[in-house]
Amino acid sequence: MAEEFVVTPWDVKGEIDYNRLIERFGTRPLEENLLERLRTQAGDLHPFLTRDIFYSHRDLDWILDEYEGGNPFYLYTGRGPSGEVHVGHLMPWVLSKWMQDTLGATLYFQLTDDEKFLFRGFDTLGESHHVGVENALDIIALGFDPAKTKIFFDSDLIRWMYPLVLQVARRITFSTVKAVFGFTASNNIGEIFYTSIQTVPAFMESAVQGRSVPCLIPCGIDQDPHFRITRDVAPGLGYPKPALIHNKLMPSLKGMGAKMSASDPSSAIFVTDTAETARRSIMNAVTGGGATVEEHRRNGGKPEVCPIFHHYAYFFEMDDEHLQEVENTCRNGDRLCGECKEELAEKVLAFLEKHQARREEARDRLDDFLLKDGDLPELESA
Amino acid sequence: MAEEFVVTPWDVKGEIDYNRLIERFGTRPLEENLLERLRTQAGDLHPFLTRDIFYSHRDLDWILDEYEGGNPFYLYTGRGPSGEVHVGHLMPWVLSKWMQDTLGATLYFQLTDDEKFLFRGFDTLGESHHVGVENALDIIALGFDPAKTKIFFDSDLIRWMYPLVLQVARRITFSTVKAVFGFTASNNIGEIFYTSIQTVPAFMESAVQGRSVPCLIPCGIDQDPHFRITRDVAPGLGYPKPALIHNKLMPSLKGMGAKMSASDPSSAIFVTDTAETARRSIMNAVTGGGATVEEHRRNGGKPEVCPIFHHYAYFFEMDDEHLQEVENTCRNGDRLCGECKEELAEKVLAFLEKHQARREEARDRLDDFLLKDGDLPELESA
C-alpha cells in the first residue's frame, strides 16, 4: 500500500499514488478514446499524452465536442513566480505550445506575483514581479506565437479583473477554502482570498468576447483544487466550467517522494542552471539502480522508481523508441546508472544551452507577449 | 442599565451607549484640552466638536503635536455606496470640509464600491459604482476644494493600491477578522479580505510622498474596528498609525434605537428626498414629547431621546443659541412636537433645495475631483 501523501497547490508531500489522486480529487482518467479524438483533430499526439504523463482530466470530452462542432477553446495556464523555473514547471507549458501549434489555441498565461507574495517570503510584491519577468522569458523561449499568447501579471491586470474577481469571491466562503485547501484561522486574509484571482482567467476570453468560449487548463494535478472551486462558481456567473488536463509531477532528483524545490538546487534541473550545476545535480541524483554494479548487472534497475528515468520520459527523451531502449537496458542490467546519467546530462546540457540562448533573445520580445492594464476592452457589464 | 447593543461597520443594533462604546473599543474621549488646542490652530471650533457629537478619538493629540510642529496631516474618510446618502452620512464629511477650510488639510475620499458589492445585494460591481458616482455628487456639493480633494473608487485605484493592499492582507489572519468583525466560516472570502482595502488610504499620502505623513480619519464610531486593524498593521509597514476622530451616529427618525436605512425611506432624511418625502418623514417621526398635548405641556419633552431634536443638534441647527432655545422650550413644555417638526422641516427643505442644486452643478465637475488609475505616481518600492 502506498504511503500517505499530500497534494495541494502549496504543498506536495510523500510518494504520490496518482490513481488514488484521481479518486480523491474526483477527476477522470485520460482514456484511449479521448486521446484518439484528440489525435484526429491535432493530427498527432504529443508524447506527454501517449506516455500517460498527462493522465487525468475534467471535461476534455466537452472541449473536443465543442472543437469538433466548430467552437474552438482557449488555453489557460500559469506560473507562481517564486524563483527559478525547473523542467517540471515546463510540462504544462510544453503541452500548451503543442496545442497552440496543432489546434490553433490562444493561450492566457497568468503570472501570480500576488500569490507568491502572499504565500512566500518576498518583502515586496515588486520582488515577486521581478522574478516573474525572468520566468516570462522561459515561457517565451519555448516558442509560443505572440499573436496567440497573452502573458500577464495579476498585479498588472488587477483593475480589469477586479469586477470578475469580486463576483467569484462573493460565491466562496471560508468554509469552502478550509475544506478544499486545508486552510485554518491562522491563514492570512490574502491567502484566503487568493483563489478568486486564479479563477478569473478561466472566464477571461468569454468576458472579452461576450460569449461562452470553452477554456482548457493544462496544469499539474496539484493545481486542481483551485479549479474545482472555479468549476463550482462558473455556472452562477453564466460562464462555462473550464476543462482541465492534468500532468503527473516530475519527481525530485533526490528521490520519488522528495520535493523539487528552489531551496535545494540539486533537487531539480533548473532552466537557468549552469552546465556545471546541472551536471552535478544529475550525477548526485538518486536512481532506481541496484546497490552495487554487481547487483545491478544481476537484477537490473527499476525505472518506475528512478528520477533519472523520469527525467528522460517526462521531458528529455521524446523519441519513444530510444526511451524504450533506455528502459529495457535498465531493466536487464545492461545500462549502468553512471552511463545513464552521462547520457541524460548530455541531453540536459544541450537543452539548457538552447533554452538559455532563446530566453535571452526573449528579453527584447517581452512587450510582444505581455498584456497590460488597458490592453483588454473594459468590462462594461461587470 | 442600557440595553445590549451591537456596533460594527456593517451592523448597528439597539440603543447605543456611547460611553460604553469608548470602553469597548478602547478609544479616548475627546477632552477639553484637545479641543482648545484644535481651536487655537483652527481659529474656531465646529459645533460638532463643542456639542460632543464628535466625541471620541485615537491619537488626535499626536496629530496636533505634528501640526503644531509644522508637519500637517491629511484627511481620509469615505462612503460605502449602497444607496442614497442621508444626513447622518454627511457628518464626517462636513467636519472634513471644516478641517480642510481651517487647517488646509488634503482629503482622500474613498468610495468602497467593492465593499458594497461584496456585502450587499448588487448584481454587479458596476451597479455599486453607479451609486457611488451619485454619492460623489453629494460630497462635491458640500463645497470641497478640488485642489485638495481626491475622491476615488476602490475599483478604479485597485491596481495602484494592490501592492499595499497585499502587504496589509499578509499581516491579518482570519482569527483577527473573526475577533474584530465577528465573521464566521460562512462569510465570503471577499468580505474577509475587504478590510485590507479600507486600510490602504490611511497610508496613501505617505506612500505618494515617500515620507511619513500623518493621517486623520473622521468617521462614525461604527467604522473604528477597521482602523484598529489598520493601526496594528501600520508600524510593520513603516507607516504611522492613522489617528481617528469619531462621531456619534445620527438616530433614526423611527426612534433612538432604530436603524437609519435606505430600505426604510422615512427612517432618515436622504439628501435626494423630494420636499414632500422629507416633510412626511419628519412629520411621521418618533419624538421625545409627551403622550398627549396636556401631558407635554405639564411635564415637557425629552430632547435627549428625541430623533427630531437630534436632527437639529447634529445637523440642521448650527446656531448654539437657538438650539438652546429649542431644548429649553421643549423641556418646559412650551414647544409642542408638531411645531418643532414644522420648524425642522423648514430648515431641512431649505438645506435640500440648496444641496440638490449644488449636486447637479457638481455633475460637470466630477473630473476635477476623481482620482483615476494612472493619476498617482507608481509605487516603485512596493
- Tens of pLDDT, residue by residue over B36-95, are 999 999 999 999 999 999 999 999 999 999 999 999 999 999 999 999 999 999 999 999
**Which among A124, A167, A193 has the least Cβ separation from residue B189?**
A193
Q: State the pLDDT confidence band at B259, using cuts at 50, 70 and 90.
A: confident
* Contact state of B186 with A170 under an 8 Å Cβ cutoff: no
Cell numbers of B235, please?
508600524
* Contact state of B172 with A186 under an 8 Å Cβ cutoff: no
A380 at the B interface (CB within 8 A)?
A: yes
Q: Which residues from A are below 8 Å from B188, CB to CB? A: 169-174
**Which among A124, A189, A382 has the least Cβ separation from residue B172?**
A189
pLDDT at B2: 47
To the nearest whole angstrom, how far is the Cα of B185 from the nearest Cα of chain A? 5
Q: What is the mean pLDDT of residues A266-285?
A: 97
Residue B122 has pLDDT above 70, yes or no: yes
**Which among A162, A163, A186 has the least Cβ separation from residue B173?**
A186
* Contact state of B126 with A381 under an 8 Å Cβ cutoff: yes
Residue A263 CB burial class (10 angstroms; 0-12, 13-18, ≥19) = exposed
DSSP state at residue A334: -
If you compute the radius of gyration of chain A from its CA atoms, what whole number of angstroms results? 21
B40 at the A interface (CB within 8 A)?
A: no
A292 at the B interface (CB within 8 A)?
A: no
Count of CB atoms situated within 10 Å of the CB of A28: 16
Residue ranges per domain, chain B? 6-253, 265-362
Mean of the per-residue pLDDT values of chain A: 95
Count of CB atoms situated within 10 Å of the CB of A258: 19
pLDDT at A1: 45
* Contact state of A126 with B380 under an 8 Å Cβ cutoff: yes
Phi/psi of residue B17, nearest 5 degrees: -95, 100
CA distances (Å), origin B76, targets B110, B158, B204 = 8, 17, 9
A200 at the B interface (CB within 8 A)?
A: no
Count of CB atoms situated within 10 Å of the CB of B215: 27
If you compute the radius of gyration of chain B from its CA atoms, what whole number of angstroms results? 21
Phi/psi of residue A276, nearest 5 degrees: -65, -45
Q: What residue in B sits closest to A153 (Cα-Cα)?
A: B159
* Contact state of A114 with B162 under an 8 Å Cβ cutoff: yes
Give CA–CA dist B361/B368, Å, rounded: 13
A265-362 falls under which CATH superfamily?
Tyrosyl-Transfer RNA Synthetase (1.10.240.10)
A232 at the B interface (CB within 8 A)?
A: no
CA distances (Å), origin A279, targets A89, A274, A308 = 19, 8, 12
* Contact state of B156 with A159 under an 8 Å Cβ cutoff: yes
Residue B3 has pLDDT above 60, yes or no: no
* Contact state of B189 with A175 under an 8 Å Cβ cutoff: no
**Which among A117, A174, A382 has the least Cβ separation from residue B192?**
A174
pLDDT at A231: 98
* Contact state of A170 with B117 under an 8 Å Cβ cutoff: yes
* Contact state of A124 with B167 under an 8 Å Cβ cutoff: yes
Residue A52 CB burial class (10 angstroms; 0-12, 13-18, ≥19) = middle
A298 at the B interface (CB within 8 A)?
A: no
B179 at the A interface (CB within 8 A)?
A: no
Phi/psi of residue B344, nearest 5 degrees: -65, -45
Q: Which residues from B are below 8 Å from A167, CB to CB? A: 124-125
Fold exhibited by the domain A6-253: Rossmann fold (3.40.50)
CA distances (Å), origin A280, targets A165, A264, A268 = 44, 13, 11
Tens digit of each residue's pLDDT (9 = 90 or more) over A216-225: 999 999 999 9
Tens digit of each residue's pLDDT (9 = 90 or more) over B143-177: 999 999 999 999 999 999 999 999 999 999 999 99
How long, in residues, is chain A? 382
A284: helix, strand or coil: coil
Which residues are CB-contacts of B4 (< 8 A; sequence separation ≥ 6)? B14
* Contact state of B156 with A158 under an 8 Å Cβ cutoff: no
Give CA–CA dist B233/B170, Å, rounded: 10
Give CA–CA dist B193/A93, Å, rounded: 31
Q: How big, in percent rounded to 5, are the helix, strand and coil portions of chain B?
A: 55, 15, 30
* Contact state of A172 with B189 under an 8 Å Cβ cutoff: yes
To the nearest whole angstrom, how far is the Cα of B107 from the nearest Cα of chain A? 23
**Which among B156, B169, B189 has the least Cβ separation from residue A118?**
B169
Which residues are CB-contacts of B31 (< 8 A; sequence separation ≥ 6)? none
DSSP state at residue B80: -
Give CA–CA dist A122/B159, Å, rounded: 19
Give CA–CA dist A51/A45, Å, rounded: 10
Cα torsion B7, B12, B15, B20 to 10°: value is 10
- CB burial readout A88-104, b (16+ within 10 A) else e: bbbbbbbbbbbbbbbbe
Cβ A285 vs Cβ A254: under 8 Å: yes
pLDDT at B260: 84
Tens digit of each residue's pLDDT (9 = 90 or more) over B311-352: 999 999 999 999 999 999 999 999 999 999 999 999 999 999
Q: How big, in percent rounded to 5, are the helix, strand and coil portions of chain A?
A: 55, 15, 30
A49 at the B interface (CB within 8 A)?
A: no
